[in-house]
Amino acid sequence: MQKLIVILFVILAMPSLAQQKKIKDSLVPESVLNGYKEKYKKTPVNNWYEGDGGYSALFDKGEATYQAFFTNSGEWIRTVSKIKESAVSGAVKKSIQNTEWKEWKMSDCYKVETPEAKKLFEIHLKKGKEKKVILFDPTGKAIDIK
C-alpha cells in the first residue's frame, strides 16, 4: 500500500509538458543527464524541459514519443507515452465497461512506467463537458481517479 501511495503521488505531482519550459541541453544538471543516460543509454533527447522541481526529456523510440521525468538529483521518476485506444489492455477496457463510465468516451490514452510499476494506463474519459482521468494497472484495476 505504501508503494502505491508513492506511485500515485509521483504521477500526480509531476508537471506535464505544458507546465514546463523548454531549456537548452547545457542548462540540464549533470546529475539529470547521468540519470537519463543510465536509464535510456544512447537514446538521443529531442528536447529538455524544466519545471516544478524537476526535469523531463522528450525523446523518440520507434514510432512513439516519450517523456521521461527526473528529480533534480537525476532520479528517474516516470516515463509517459501517448498511445492509441487500440493499445489499451483489454482488461482496462473491460473494467471501464463494467463501471459508471461505460458511456464515456476515451479522449486520450497514455502508457505510464514508474520504478515500481512497469506498465500503467492513464485514461482520459469525457462525457459532454465532464472529464475524468483514471489510472489503471494492467489487470484493469482502477488505482486513482481524478
Tens-place pLDDT, residues 12-36 = 434 454 578 999 999 999 999 999 9
One of 3.10.450.360, 3.30.1510.10, 2.40.50.840, 2.60.40.10 is the CATH number of 84-145, namely 3.10.450.360
Q: What's the rounded Cα separation, in Å, for the pair 27 and 24?
A: 6
Structure confidence by residue, pLDDT tens digits, 121-137:
999 999 999 999 999 99
State yes or no: pLDDT of 6 exceeds 50.
no
**pTM of the predicted protein model:** 0.80
Q: What's the rounded Cα separation, in Å, for the pair 134 and 20?
A: 23
Q: Are 81 and 110 in contact (CB under 8 A)?
A: yes
pLDDT confidence of residue 20 = 86
Give the CATH fold of the 2-77 domain.
Answer: Nuclear Transport Factor 2; Chain: A, (3.10.450)
Q: What's the rounded Cα separation, in Å, for the pair 94 and 83?
A: 18
